[in-house]
Structures are given as C-alpha cells and as structure tokens.
C-alpha cells in the first residue's frame, strides 16, 4: 500500500492583515489628538498653515507616485526575469551589477543633485523608469546588465533626491522647522503603503499569465510620464552652489571635518547594509529545508509593520521628553540587532520568523524618519545630497561583497551574513551613543551663520 504524504503551503492568518490595518488607522486618527496637546498646528489641521499643508500634500503625492514606480519593479522584477528563463546564477549577476552601479553612482549622483538641483535629478529618475519601460515593451529579452544598471541608478536617486528637494523647498518657503518631522514619518508611511499597493497592482496586471506580460511595463511608462509632468510643472528650485570648487571646499569643511556627521553617516551606512542583507536573505531563510510558503502574502506584513513603526516617531517628537532622538535610535538599533541575531543563530518555525521579521520592520519604520531628523539637525541643506550619497557607497560595497562571497562563490553562509548585519547594527548603536555625547550643540542652516 502506498503512503500519501500531504504537503501544506504555509500562509499568514488573514487576521494579521486586519490587525495591521486597524492599528495603522487607529494611530493615524490618534495622532492629531495627541499632538494638539503640545502644538498649535498638526498635519491634519486647516487654516493657519494652509500653505504648508498644500506644499506637503503635493510633495507626498509625487513621492507616492515615485514609490509606486519603485515598488512595481521590486514586486515583479524577479518574477519577470524568471519568465525570460533566467536562472539563479544570472539572478546573482543581476544583483552584482546593481550594487556595483549603486556603489559608484551614489556619491556622483549625490554631489550632482546638490550642484544642479534635486529637481533635475528627480527628473532623471522618471526618465530612467520611462526608458526602461519602453525598452521592455520593444525588446524580446532585456539585457540583465542594462536592467540592473538603470534600476539601480533610479533606486539610488529615489533614496535621497526627493527628500532633499522637500527639505530645501521647506526652508525656502519659510515653513516651521519642526513641521518637517511630520513629513518625515509620513514619507515612510506612504512609501510602505505604496509598496503594498504596487504588489496588489502588479498581481492584478499579471494575473494568471505566465508568459511575457507587457501590462506592468505600460503602467510604468504612464506613471513615469505622469511623475515627470508633475515635477516639471509643480516643482521650483534654484540651486545655491554652482561652482564645483566652492562645493568641494564646503563639503570638506562641513562634512568631512565634522565628526558628528561622520557618526551619522556610519549609522546610515550600517542600516542600509543590514536592510540590504535582510531583503536578500529573508526569502531563503523562510523557505529553508524545503518549506513551502506563500512569500507574496508575507511581504505586505513587513511593510504594514513598517507603517506602524513609523507612527511611533511623531508620538515621541510631538511632546516634551527626556529622551533625545539619539537615545531612541540607540535602543532601536540594539533591538534590530537582537531580532536579527535570533534569526541568524537559532532555527525558528515560519510563524516565529514572520513575527521577528515584522518586529524588525517596525523598528526600521521608526529609524528612517529619526535619521532624517538628525540629518536636518547636523547636515547643511546645500550638502545633504553629497553626504547621503557618500554614506550609501560603503554599504553598497559591503552588500556587493556579501553577494559575491555568499551567493556566487558560496564561501559564506546565510547565518554569517546576517551576523555581519547584526554587527553593523550594533556599530550603528555605538555611533548614535557617541553622537549623543558629541552633539550637544547641533547646528543647521550653516549658510545663515
């Protein structure tokens, strides 16, 4: 008599999505009431600061469009490559091409955005997506090298250009400095929400079609053109620094010469490296030992957790507290390291892994706007793009090395790579602790001094 072995595919409990949705709605509606105790104007108010809210909503709309563009590729990019018959080795090459491009492009694009303006660099972001969408429509099989290069450059621009333009225009229009905190956490919140929407949209466009699908490419073309149009008509910018020599002198004096910015940059680098390692290894970790999992159903849980985590930021910044942002980041980085270390050194069931990963992303949702706030405190706006670009370079180099050694040559195991991520997070916590000690008198807007 034969033995029939039944296999089941693990899926998250549907109540998880309801819980995350309810938590996000509750925290969003609770925030205006909580913040009104300490501030006269909030993100949801109307009237006295109508110009700021109009500026903020216009920016968040454009940022959401850009987030959908980024999310569409991150959702169905690997699926599309697989549909062309590209195997594991070529997938790894694609990652290597992408991180190599980001390694060299990030510092260049960061400095370029400060010199020619963040608006022009953001337009390059739209043009890259538009070009890539058209190319996928007309090419039988797009080159892996060109695909990775274009999308990596677009992702690099997305990581700093939109934020930097918003900060510069916020200052130029004379809005209150503390109102930037609201925009920072809303950026993280909307970005995560748009990534979830991108997954739903991409799945609807692809449907049950296992062959080459041109639907997502058409949507990318349309969204890129729409984003390009709104940036061209709705954004204004006049770069203050046009001389490369003047910029280099300022960068050396105010960025390379300030140990506080060095600490902040290293904390950003370590976070970027750890998140890169996570996104590369989370799926292999979940499906280890042949476990069957609906990975597409877990992805929204991570982003929903990040949305919840981002709402913790205004709760701490909207009222007087003895804890500084650096203190909160020390605790957040240590928590991130502990969560990742459990995954690295202890075998866990799928449900436990998903919970740990969700907590990890909740902490990330808090850390991202907190780092943006520290950049406003310590980094001159005219040099902000260069600082962020150079902070991404060592992280991309470390991720590239990890992919080559762990994915291509298989000299390093997944647990060891996660352990490196844990070390980076602990190093970032140390940087934040030192920044607290050395950053007693932060400065901003150096050109006014």
pLDDT digits (tens, 9 = 90+) for 197-212: 988 888 887 765 655 5
**At 72, which CATH number?**
1.20.1250.20
- Is residue 221 within 8 A of residue 205, CB to CB? The reply is no
The total number of structural domains that make up the chain: 1
Between 7 and 364, the higher pLDDT residue: 364
Is 279's pLDDT higher than 60? yes
Rounded distance, CA 29 to CA 311, Å? 11
Q: Has residue 380 been placed in a domain?
A: yes
Closest CA to 46 of 34, 32, 58: 32
Decide if 5 is inside a domain.
no
Q: Is residue 118 part of a domain?
A: yes
- Cα atoms found within 13 Å of the Cα of residue 199, Cβ hemisphere only: 17
pLDDT digits (tens, 9 = 90+) for 365-394: 999 999 999 999 999 999 999 999 999 999
Do 311 and 31 form a contact (C-beta atoms < 8 A)? yes
Tell me whether residue 381 is in a domain. Answer: yes
pLDDT in tens, 106-146: 999 999 999 999 999 999 999 999 998 888 888 767 788 88
Task: Give how far the C-alpha of residue 153 lies from the chain's centroid of Cα atoms, to the nearest Å.
Answer: 14
Average pLDDT over residues 172-186: 88
- For residue 291, pLDDT over 50 is answered with yes
CA-CA distances (angstroms) from residue 151 to 72, 85, 187, 228, 271?
11, 20, 21, 16, 21
Rounded to whole angstroms, how far apart are CA atoms 439 and 343? 34
| Gap between the Cα atoms of 24 and 308, Å rounded | 6
Does 218 map to a domain? yes
| Mean pLDDT computed over every residue of the chain | 85
Closest CA relative to residue 330, chosen from 188, 442, 428: 428
Return the HEC string of the chain.
CCCCCCCCCECCCHHHHHHHHHHHHHHHHHHHHHHCCCCCCCCCCCCCCHHHHHHHHHHHHHHHHHHHHHHHHHHHHHHHHHHCCCCHHHHHHHHHHHHHHHHHHHHHHHHHHHHHCHHHHHHHHHHHHHHHHHHHHHCCCCCHHHHHHHHHHHHHHHHHHHHHHHHHHHHHCCCCHHHHHHHHHHHHHHHHHHHHHHHHHHHHHHCCCCCCCCHHHHHHHHHHHHHHHHHHHHCCCCCCCCCHHHHHHHHHHHHHCCHHHHHHHHHHHHHHHHHHHHHHHHHHHHCHHHCCECHHHHHHHHHHHHHHHHCHHHHHHCCCCCCCHHHHHHHHHHHHHHHHHHHHHCCCCHHHHHHHHHHHHHHHHHHHHHHHHHHHHHCCHHHHHHHHHHHHHHHHHHHHHHHHHHHHCCCCCHHHHHHHHHHHHHHHHHHHHHHHHHCCCCCCCHHHC
Asked whether residue 43 is assigned to any structural domain, the reply reads no
Give the Cα separation of 100 and 432 in Å (integer).
28
What is the average pLDDT across 23-49?
58
Q: How far apart are CA 54 and CA 189, in angstroms?
A: 18
- Does residue 49 belong to any structural domain of this protein? no
pLDDT tens, position by position, 233-274: 878 887 665 678 889 999 999 999 899 999 999 999 999 999
Whether the pLDDT of residue 445 is over 50: the answer is no
CA 48 to chain centre: 32
Question: In this structure, are residues 42 and 35 in contact, taking their beta carbons and an 8 Å threshold?
Answer: yes
pLDDT in tens, 42-63: 444 444 468 888 899 999 999 9
The β-bridge partners of 293 are: 10
Write down the pLDDT at residue 27.
78
What percentage of the chain carries pLDDT values higher than 70?
84
Q: d(Cα 441, Cα 438) in Å, to the nearest integer? A: 8
Residue 130 forms part of a structural domain:
yes
Cβ proximity of 292 and 10 under 8 Å: yes
**CA gyration radius, the chain:** 22
How far separated are the first and last CA of the chain, in Å rounded?
Answer: 86
**Domain interval for residue 171:** 57-439
């Amino acid at each position: 008599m034969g033995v029939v072995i039944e296999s089941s595919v693990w899926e998250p409990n549907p109540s998880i999505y309801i819980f995350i949705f309810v938590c996000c709605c509750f925290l969003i509606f609770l925030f205006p009431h909580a913040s009104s105790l300490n501030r006269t104007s909030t993100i949801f108010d109307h009237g006295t600061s109508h110009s700021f809210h109009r500026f903020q909503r216009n920016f968040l709309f454009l940022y959401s469009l850009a987030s959908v563009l980024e999310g569409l590729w991150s959702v169905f990019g690997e699926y599309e490559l697989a549909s062309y018959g590209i195997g594991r080795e070529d997938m790894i090459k694609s990652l290597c091409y992408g991180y190599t491009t980001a390694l060299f492009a990030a510092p260049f694009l960061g400095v370029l955005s400060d010199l020619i303006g963040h608006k022009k660099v953001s337009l390059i972001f739209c043009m890259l997506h538009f070009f890539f969408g058209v190319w996928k429509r007309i090419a039988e099989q797009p080159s892996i090298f060109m695909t990775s290069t274009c999308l990596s450059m677009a992702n690099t621009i997305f990581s700093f250009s939109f934020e930097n333009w918003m900060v510069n225009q916020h200052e130029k229009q004379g809005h209150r400095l503390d109102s930037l905190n609201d925009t920072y956490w809303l950026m993280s919140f909307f970005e995560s929400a748009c990534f979830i929407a991108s997954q739903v949209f991409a799945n609807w466009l692809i449907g049950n079609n296992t062959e080459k699908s041109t639907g997502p490419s058409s949507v990318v073309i349309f969204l890129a053109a729409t984003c390009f149009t709104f940036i061209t008509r709705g954004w204004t910018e006049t770069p203050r620094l046009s001389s490369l020599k003047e910029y280099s002198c300022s960068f050396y004096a105010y960025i390379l010469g300030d140990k506080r910015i060095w600490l902040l940059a290293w904390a950003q680098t370590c976070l970027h490296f750890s998140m890169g390692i996570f996104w590369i290894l989370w799926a292999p970790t979940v499906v280890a030992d042949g476990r069957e999992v609906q990975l597409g159903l877990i992805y929204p849980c991570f982003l929903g957790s990040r949305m919840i985590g981002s709402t913790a930021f205004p709760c701490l910044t909207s009222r007087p507290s003895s804890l500084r942002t650096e203190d909160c980041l020390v605790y957040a980085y240590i928590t991130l390291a502990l969560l990742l270390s459990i995954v690295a050194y202890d075998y866990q069931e799928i449900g436990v892994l998903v919970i740990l990963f969700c907590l990890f992303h909740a902490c990330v949702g808090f850390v991202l706007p907190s780092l943006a706030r520290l950049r406003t405190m310590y980094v001159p706006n005219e040099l902000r793009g260069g600082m962020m670009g150079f902070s991404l370079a060592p992280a991309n180099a470390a991720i590239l090395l990890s992919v080559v050694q762990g994915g291509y040559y298989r000299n390093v195991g997944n647990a060891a790579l996660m352990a490196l991520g844990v070390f980076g997070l602990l190093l970032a916590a140390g940087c934040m602790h030192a920044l607290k000690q050395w950053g007693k008198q932060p400065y901003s807007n150096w050109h006014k001094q």
